[in-house]
Structures are given as structure tokens and as C-alpha cells.
Chains A and B, each alone.
Chain A
Amino acid sequence: MTPYSATQQGAEQLTSLPRIIARRQEQAGAHDKTPRPRPQAIVNSEGFSLYYGDKAGVKDITMDIYPRSVTAIIGPSGCGKSTFLRSINRMNDLIPHVRAEGRLAVNGQDVYDKRVNLVNLRQEVGMVFQKPNPFPKSIFDNVAYGPKLQGVKNKSELQQIVEESLKAAVLWEEVRDDLKKSALAFSGGQQQRLCIARALATKPQILLMDEPCSALDPVATGRIEDLIGQLKAKYTIVIVTHNMQQAARVSDMAAFFCLGELIEYDTTSKIFSNPSKKATEDYVTGRFG
């Protein structure tokens, strides 16, 4: 497939939201006609609010995120999507004067509890950022960074983890001969998949993705989306995206945030085809936002 035709195809996909929804509903129907019983939630938020000083980043969020599924968080800019996402692995701690209220639990453990071990939490909850941000080190060192933090010192063990992670991120075939090469020498899409591999190397349960495709071209975006589809089988994925087509394509559940509040949270097909709130409908149909 030439880059051009791939781009064209990607562009076609991006413009036809109703078609995506229809296709996905068909797929879902084909696989499993009876609704499955909901499994136990892995992330559990109850009345969670986060304040930057006096200003609220997110207010009173109550939602459950289910394991081995893709949950998309959509909403206009500044609505608190990323804030909520970053609350799950407490990356917001970097910002001074942050204060949390309510309860936000991962595997039943309140992450804002004072006794929580940040290192363990962040290794359980991996994160992929908006811009590909590999370290200026070799591919191997990038992926081995997490396992080394966990205390893995054995060279062959590290080798194995790196290989597994790169394979899981569908990057192994492209870089297997260049493991010693600096990560910065690769393309943006490859770098982002490397970042995913790096996050996977710590063997997390949850993978947080903060607009992982916003800095990538449609071909690379397509690859990442495919990858997300594959990773769903083993990991719980929470993805923040501005791109509603993307949310529709990849996610099982979708949450619509607006002005720091959770407006609606339901299955993706319901959010995109039959939302119960007026604001959600306006947003997904493009009348607002």
C-alpha cells in the first residue's frame, strides 16, 4: 500500500463517522448478540474532583472503567479530559498546588491515599503521551528503562522483555537490527509505538493514552489504532482523543467531558448513535465544540 493510497483511505475513514458506527455495531452483533455481564471495574471513580489551587480541573467525576476494554474520553479542549487521565497515575502531582477530593481507585486502592506507592502505581498504570517522547537513548535502553527500574538486571531477561514489548507494539520487525540506534533517529509513528512498547515493558494493567495520535500522520495513526485494537485483549486502555472518528473506531466505552464535568458515559455505539444528553449529541454531530 503506497503512502498516498493509505492516506486517502485514512482520510475516507475519518470523514464517515456514521459508517464507522454502523460497521462497528455490525461487528459487535456478529461476535456476540447477547450483552455480556459487566465485569468488575478496574478504575473506580466516585465523586472525584481535582483542583489546581482554587480552580477545579475536574469536578465530581463518577465513572467505572472496565478491564480489557478501550475507554475513550472525548470533549472540547480544556474540559478536563487529560486532567482526569493524568489523575489515574497521579502525573498531575508535577503541577504545584494540586489537591484531590473524592475517591479514585485503581484495583480498589485509592490512588490519592497518602500511603500509596507511586512507583508501583505508575508501573501498574502505564502512560503514552501526546507527542512521541522517547528518551535520547538507544531503542533497547528506552524499552529496558522501566524493567531496570523494577530491578531487572539480568541481561538476557532484559533482552527478552525488550523483544516481547517491541513485538507487542508491532515494532520488532522494523527495529530488530537497530536496537543500539538512538530512538531519535526513527520516524514519529515508530517513536510513538516505541513509547507504547516502553510503557508495556513494565507489564502494566492499564495503559493511559493522552491523544497518542495527534502528532502523527494518518498512516501512523492507523497503525497505532490497529495496535490499540490488539492490545485490548490484554490491557485496559483509556484514551483521550480530540478525534471523534478515532474514538468511534477504537473504543468500547466513551465518556463525554465538558467544562470539567462528566456529561455522559456509555457504550461507544450509544454515545455516537443515540446519546441521551443534548450536549453530547451536539458535540458528536459537530454542532458544538
Chain B
Amino acid sequence: MKLAGRMILDKTFTTLTALSVLLLSVILLVVLGPMIYRGSGAVIFRGTVEFRKMQMGLFERGDAEALDAEIAQAQEVRDAVYRQIDEFRQGIDTEELNEKARKIHREFGGELRSNGITGDEYSELRSLTKDIRDKLEEASESQDKALIRRNIEDVLEHQDDDRLKGTLAAGFFPLAANFSKAVENADLAKLSQYTEAIEQVEDILRQLFGPKPGEPTPALARMRYGATRCDQAQILLGKLLWIEKWVQTEPGKPLEKIKTPRSEQFAGTPLESLPGFVEKNLAKMLRPRLTFYWQYFIDDSYNSHYFGGVGPEILGTLLITVLGMLFAIPLGLVSAAYLVECASDNLAVKIIRMCINSLAGVPSIVFGLFGLAFFVLYLLPTFGLPSQGCILAASLTLAILTLPVMIRASEEAIRSVPQTYKEASLALGASRFRTFVTVTLPAALPGILTGIILSLSRIAGETAPILFTGAVALGPVPKSVFQPTRTLSYGSYDMAVGDRVAMMVPHNQYGMVVTLVVLILLLNGMAIMLRGRVFKKLQGR
């Protein structure tokens, strides 16, 4: 009976522990999975012709001839869209219509005179064009569809008039035709609203396809190209197809999102079919293709990470981390060696040890402020250097941050080296220093490497300590350690909280975070492999 109870307890314990491990892995998957999925989208995605155009324009990468051919093919389909819009806009723009009609009438007189037509024929033609002009004007200002139709028909009757053929007055007829096409089925009361709606459509199209051909090249790089990625294009297409509005349906209720199809906005007009046309031909206009953008890890970025990669960030992170470790490792080792080998167990040493232990728990922002006050504001000016955040100050701050971890790990490692090793070395006549360097240190190396791994992961991902001491969100690639740098950790932070442009490209945000995680894993992997080799060598296998 007792045995059975114990076995049940044993089984329960096993199950519980297994469950907790399972739970942990599920949580890890749930948290990391989507992040990695989205982050990998920065490197592997369906890139459009705009992406290739951007790569050529900003990085001079790709096959120029093939790209030109591709752009031309895409442009053909896009032009159809632009043409539809232009025609409709001209059709509904009554002011422009009137002005054009008046201009034609005015200039037609000049043309007639220069052609040597005078007398009755002149006045007859003048009154004819005046009549056409007035009819057009009347139609454009009218809300009565019957009147409009009648007037337009009257105007178009003169289309076959030989006297007007080949003259400026022939310009009346396309105007009239455009107008009639535009307003044929349209709601005339809405005519003034169409202008605004078209502007919205054009704005979306500009985001999709970049600036219209003929428009000046925008100064900002991100305005120069359309949707570079298929997922972006899909979102923009959604905006084109649907109008989203936040509406309060009932008083006191929260706002509700209501989607209406954009084609409704253009009901009855030739543009009604435009969104559908774009949706159907999007692939032809953007030519998406699966792209592996490995240059993401070396490219500089444009317009706060709207385009480009995280090259400078990776470089900065590596620089700061490696430099920080270069400061932290010797300092930590020497301190640990002193605490184990030299210090007697008196009050001062106890206080030092307590301080080290408490320092390990101090929030990192405190170290950041310390670094700002000590390195940036005091030490750098003392040595005649500009008092600005720089790689040196940041790595020194990180070194101080990680020193407690380093010291404690090394201390444990050195302490756990068997006394017999030291005795053997001393008995052979080695000095204490020699013993430490040639026997204790190599034997403690696996433990020390564990400390290094812990420190490395910590400082590679720290943001707060470098916030004021050397990290910037944007800026050139540093040329010396006395310049600030961009880092992955600070970049991720800045993109998440401060940068509105970056918020438009979430894949880059996730990409940066995932890059950071992968970088730390890589660094750790290297250190772990090194530790494994050292350990194997020590064990004689």
C-alpha cells in the first residue's frame, strides 16, 4: 500500500515535470513562431517589379535590360488605368471643360483669320462655334440629364461638318464625348465629390505603382517606388477595393468599422470597373516573384528602414558587443582571480563581494545613466574628445553592466578547479602567478566560457545602457570608436516606439528583432562549441 502510494506520487511528479516542459515549449513556439515567421518575411518574400526597380535605383543591383523590359510590360497595363482616370477626370471637370471650350472658340477666330477666311463665312462659323460653346456650357452646368443629352447630341451633330474638320474647333467633340461618357449614368449631384474620390484613388495608385510617369522624381527614396512586396500590394489593393469608415451606429456605442466597396463611389461612371480591373491585372502590373533578399543583412537602410537592410545595425551590435567583452573579460578574470586566490576573508572583501552581487541586479537603465554621466559627460571631455555618445562609451558601459556576471561566473569556475592541481604545480616550483596562468586558468576555462556566454547574450541585446551612451536610430556607419553607431537592439526599440515610417514596414521591424535573436544565437553557438572543444580537450577525449 505504501509502495503503491509512493509510485503514484512518483508518476505524478514525472507527469507534472513533463507537462511543464511541454508548456514551456508551447509558449516558446507561440511567442517565437509568429515573430520568426514575420521576421523571415524581411528576407524571403514575393518581391514586385518595384522592388527590383528600387534595388537598381538605390543599390545598383540587378540586370538593367531585363528590368527595363519588365517595367515597360508592366507600364503598358498601368497606362490603361491612368488613361481611364484621366478621361473621367477631364469629363467631369466642368470648369476645365468650359475654359477649354471658351479657349477653342477664342482661338478658332484667330485660326480662321490666319487662314484668310473673312466676311459671311467667318461670322457664320463664329456663331456656330459660339453656339457649340454655349451648349456645352449649358450642359456642364445643368443637372438635367435630358437637357445634357440633347445639347451633347446637338454638338456632336456638327462632327461631320467639313468646315470644322482639321481645325481647332474639332477639339469640341472629344470634350463633349468625354463629358457625355463620364456623366451618362453618373449621379449628377455627386459630380463635385468625384474629384476628391479620384484623388484618393490616385494616391493609392501612387503607393502601389510609384509616381505616375511624367511626374517629377520625389526627393524621398520611399516615395520613388511603389509597393515593393506582394503583401504590401495586397493591403493597398484592399484599400482600393474597399472604403473603410469608422461610424457610430448608435449613440453611446463604440465606433464600428464599416467597409463599403469603392466601386459604389463611382456607381454609373466608367471608373466603376476600375478597382476590379486593377484587382484582376495586379499581377501583370507588379509582376511579383519569390525573392530571396539575403543582402538584407549587409544593406544600409533608406528612409528609416523603409527600404534596405540592417547591415550597419549588425556591424554596430557586433562592434559594441565584442569591444564590451574585450573590456569585461580581462577585468572580470582579474577581479575573480583576486577574490579567489589572493583576498583573505575579511570584512572589506565581504563587502566587495556583496556589492558585486547587488550590482548584478541593478536595472540596466541605471548603468546607462551612469555611462552618460561618467564616460560621455566626464571622461571623454577630460581626454579632449567630443562629449557625445560613442561606441567606446557604449561598450565600456556594457562592460560594467556585465562585469558582475563575469566576475561571479569566473570566480565559481576558478574556485572549482581542484586544489590538487594547484598543489602539483606549486610543488614543482611554479610561482602562484605561473600556477594560475598555466594550470588554474586552463582548467577553469569551461566555466569562464559559460560566464562569457551569459555576458555576451546579455550585452548583445541590451538597449537601455546604450540609449544615452552610443546608440543612434539613424546615422552614417561609424568610422571610429569615437562615433555613435546604430545597433539592432536600439533600432528595434526605436522602430517600435518612435518611428512612424518604420511602422509602415512591420516586416523590417520583425526582421531586425529576429536578426538580433539569430545573431545572439550564433554568437552563443560559437562560444558553446568553443567550450565543448575546450572541455573535451581537458577531459582527454
Interface residues in chain A, defined as those with a beta carbon under 8 Å from any beta carbon in chain B: 89, 91, 94, 96, 118-123, 126-127, 129, 131, 133-137, 145-146, 149-150, 181-185, 195, 198-199, 202
Most buried by A among B420, B424, B537: B424
B427 at the interface (CB under 8 A from A): yes
**Contacts of B66 on A, CB cut-off 8 Å?**
none
Within the complex, the shortest CB–CB distance from A173 to chain B, in Å, comes to 20
B442 near A137 with CB under 8 A, answer yes
A126 near B539 with CB under 8 A, answer no
B429 at the interface (CB under 8 A from A): yes
A122 vs B427: C-alpha distance when bound (angstroms): 6
A126 near B540 with CB under 8 A, answer no
Within the complex, the shortest CB–CB distance from B7 to chain A, in Å, comes to 40
**Contacts of A135 on B, CB cut-off 8 Å?**
421, 424-425, 439, 443
Contact pattern, B 404-426, Cβ under 8 Å of A = 1, otherwise 0: 00000000000000101111111
Going nearest first, the 5 A-B pairs with the smallest beta carbon separation are A182-B540, A185-B540, A133-B420, A127-B427, A122-B429
Partner of A133, one of B424, B431, B537, B539: B424
Partner of B540, one of A89, A131, A184, A195: A184
**Contacts of A195 on B, CB cut-off 8 Å?**
424
Using A96-B344, A136-B442 as known contacts, say yes or no to A146 and B539 having CB atoms under 8 A apart: no
A198 vs B421: C-alpha distance when bound (angstroms): 13
Partner of B428, one of A149, A182, A183: A149
Q: How many A-B residue pairs have CB under 8 A?
A: 77
A136 vs B440: C-alpha distance when bound (angstroms): 10
Partner of A145, one of B422, B423, B425, B541: B425
Output the nearest chain B residue to A91 by Cβ-Cβ distance: B427
Output the nearest chain B residue to A121 by Cβ-Cβ distance: B429
B344 near A131 with CB under 8 A, answer no
**Contacts of B427 on A, CB cut-off 8 Å?**
89, 91, 122, 126-127, 129, 199
Interface residues in chain B, defined as those with a beta carbon under 8 Å from any beta carbon in chain A: 344, 418, 420-431, 434, 438-439, 442-443, 537-541
A146 near B429 with CB under 8 A, answer yes
Output the nearest chain A residue to B430 by Cβ-Cβ distance: A149
**Contacts of A145 on B, CB cut-off 8 Å?**
425, 428, 430, 438
A131 near B442 with CB under 8 A, answer no
**Contacts of A122 on B, CB cut-off 8 Å?**
426-429
**Contacts of A134 on B, CB cut-off 8 Å?**
424
A202 vs B425: C-alpha distance when bound (angstroms): 12
26 A–B contact pairs at CB < 8 A?
A94-B426, A118-B429, A119-B431, A120-B429, A122-B428, A123-B428, A123-B429, A126-B427, A126-B428, A129-B423, A129-B424, A133-B420, A135-B439, A136-B421, A136-B538, A146-B428, A149-B434, A150-B429, A181-B540, A182-B538, A183-B540, A184-B538, A195-B424, A198-B428, A199-B427, A202-B429
B420 near A131 with CB under 8 A, answer yes
**Contacts of B425 on A, CB cut-off 8 Å?**
135, 145
B428 near A133 with CB under 8 A, answer no
A133 near B423 with CB under 8 A, answer yes
B344 near A136 with CB under 8 A, answer no
**Contacts of B422 on A, CB cut-off 8 Å?**
94
Given contacts A135-B439, A137-B442, 7 further A-B contacts (CB under 8 A): A91-B426, A122-B429, A126-B428, A131-B420, A133-B421, A133-B424, A136-B443
**Contacts of A121 on B, CB cut-off 8 Å?**
429
Most buried by A among B421, B425, B428, B434: B428
**Contacts of B421 on A, CB cut-off 8 Å?**
133, 135-136
A146 vs B427: C-alpha distance when bound (angstroms): 9
**Contacts of B430 on A, CB cut-off 8 Å?**
119, 145, 149
A101 vs B71: C-alpha distance when bound (angstroms): 98
Most buried by A among B344, B426, B434, B439: B426
Output the nearest chain B residue to A120 by Cβ-Cβ distance: B429
Output the nearest chain A residue to B427 by Cβ-Cβ distance: A127
Within the complex, the shortest CB–CB distance from A111 to chain B, in Å, comes to 13
**Contacts of A123 on B, CB cut-off 8 Å?**
428-429
A184 vs B535: C-alpha distance when bound (angstroms): 12
**Contacts of A181 on B, CB cut-off 8 Å?**
540
**Contacts of B423 on A, CB cut-off 8 Å?**
91, 94, 129, 133
A67 vs B469: C-alpha distance when bound (angstroms): 69
A145 vs B421: C-alpha distance when bound (angstroms): 12
Output the nearest chain A residue to B443 by Cβ-Cβ distance: A136
**Contacts of B418 on A, CB cut-off 8 Å?**
133
Most buried by B among A89, A136, A183: A136
A127 vs B425: C-alpha distance when bound (angstroms): 10
A136 vs B344: C-alpha distance when bound (angstroms): 28
Within the complex, the shortest CB–CB distance from A139 to chain B, in Å, comes to 10
**Contacts of A119 on B, CB cut-off 8 Å?**
429-431
Within the complex, the shortest CB–CB distance from B280 to chain A, in Å, comes to 72
A198 near B539 with CB under 8 A, answer no
Within the complex, the shortest CB–CB distance from A100 to chain B, in Å, comes to 17
**Contacts of A202 on B, CB cut-off 8 Å?**
428-429
**Contacts of A146 on B, CB cut-off 8 Å?**
428-429
A83 vs B425: C-alpha distance when bound (angstroms): 19
**Contacts of B540 on A, CB cut-off 8 Å?**
136, 181-185
